[in-house]
Structure formats: C-alpha cells, structure tokens
Amino acid sequence: MKLQRTVGLLIIISLLNMNPALGSQSSTKEPKPPCRLQVGIAHLSTDLFEKFRIVAVKVNASSICNVPQTNVTITVEIWKTGLLGNHFVWKQTINSLGTTYPGSQVNNSSTYKRCVDKTLTHYYGVSYSKALIDGKWQYARHVLSNKIEPLKCGT
C-alpha cells in the first residue's frame, strides 16, 4: 500500500514537471525583457547661466538592450503638476535608423525647456520607446521619473 502511494506521488510530481502550465508556479520564471528604458529626474541645467542668464528644465532618458535592435525611437515628455491636473510642457522624440548592438546605450538627452522665471514648479519626466527586434516592433511602456522635483523654473 505504501509502495503504491509512493509510486502515485512520484507520477504526479513528474507530470507536474513535464507540463509547464501545471508546474509554472514551482519552476518557471518570467523571461527578462530584452530592453530596459529609464528616465531621469527633471533637473535644472544651470551650466550656461553665467554666460546667457538662461536656465532650462531638462529630462534625459536612456535605453539599453541585450539584443540587437534597429529603428530605436525614444520619446521624452516633460510635465509639470498643477491644481487642475498636470500640464504638458515639452516633448522630444529621437529616431535612430541604424542597428544598435547588444549592451550599447541609446539616449534621448535633447529634451529641455527654457525657464521664463523662477516660479517654484514641480516637474517630472515620462518616457516611452519602440524598436525593431527580430523583425518585430517591441514597445517599452511609459516610464515616469521616480521623483517629482520642485524646481525654481516657471515655464
């Protein structure tokens, strides 16, 4: 009787291991996405203030993939918070037609908006991207800055 129970248990265990749907909780892992998109915190670009008396709010984003990709498009949006909802400030999309090799980084570092005064304003960035990987379009969902930053920058 004990032997029958043991054999039965072994059969069930082996079936669970063979069928991925049944055994998914125990052994399978979510595949890692091939690309990682990250967006920085909105910040003031003050390097040119002494020369031009101009300050700008800026957000950078960066994408890195572990597979070759082509037609990489990265969009960065700058937003500010407001009493009656958030306000769109500026958006820039860059599109690189060539092939980007695994491990190399593609940046969108060109999204900035000049400050018109020193009004304290809360800014954040949003970024999304797409690329052709293995002949198929792959989309990276919207990523937000992990902090909303108060900056002395009215736009």
What does the binding site for other proteins look like in residue numbers (CB under 8 A)?
A: 38, 40-43, 45, 47-48, 51-52, 54, 56, 59-62, 64, 87-98, 105, 107, 109-110, 112-114, 116, 146
For the CB of residue 31, give the shortest distance to other proteins in the complex, in Å. 22
How far is it, in rounded angstroms, from Cα 53 to Cα 13? 72
Q: Please tell me the total number of residues recorded for the chain in this structure.
A: 155
Q: How far is the CB of 138 from other proteins (least distance, A)?
A: 19
Report in angstroms how near the CB of residue 130 gets to other proteins at its nearest: 14
**Alpha carbons within 13 A on the beta-carbon side of 23:** 11
* Closer residue to other proteins (CB): 88 or 139: 88
Smallest separation (angstroms) from other proteins to the CB of 70: 12
DSSP letter (8 states) at residue 110: E
The SS3 assignment for 89 reads strand
- The Cα 17–Cα 26 span in angstroms is 9
Nearer to other proteins, 23 or 90 (CB): 90
CA–CA dist 154, 152 (Å, integer): 7
Shortest Å, Cβ 51 to other proteins = 7
Compare residues 11 and 48 and give the one whose CB is closer to other proteins: 48
- 98 or 135: CB nearest other proteins: 98
Nearer Cβ to other proteins (28/47):
47
Cβ neighbours of 133 (radius 10 Å) = 17
Answer for the pair 58, 77: CB distance below 8 angstroms, yes or no. Answer: no
